[in-house]
Amino acid sequence: MTVLFRGSAGPDKVLTEDFRNDWLENDMVLANRIWTEEKTPYPRNYDQSTAQLRAASDALNKIMKTYPNSKVNLYGHSLGSMNAQYAMANLSQKALSRVK
């Protein structure tokens, strides 16, 4: 089974909700958090994720539960790769062992 996480909406989608969600609520927020990390000492277990990252994690966990015998390939481009990495980081060890 293959799970694809798409990248950010392109400039041709600038007036869409996808563009706003991808760029303003995720890419820029995450870039700002990386840029200011040294200046803003967050507590060790502080969740700096975005709603989209958490949704990706929830979706992958649901897929893993729905198809318990499947091996899974994960692919993502740009923002999609961040979503895939965050989702993988939140899998159980058992589920993670099924990711190729």
Range of the domain at 44: 2-96
Instruction: Please report the pLDDT score of residue 39 as a whole number.
Output: 72
Which DSSP symbol is given to 38?
T
For range 68-81, the mean pLDDT: 95
78 conformational bin, left if phi > 0, alpha if psi -120 to 50, beta if neither: left
- Tally of domains in the chain: 1
Cα–Cα distances (Å) from 19 to 23, 30, 32, in that order, read 6, 15, 18
Instruction: Please report the pLDDT score of residue 45 as a whole number.
Output: 76
pTM of the model: 0.84
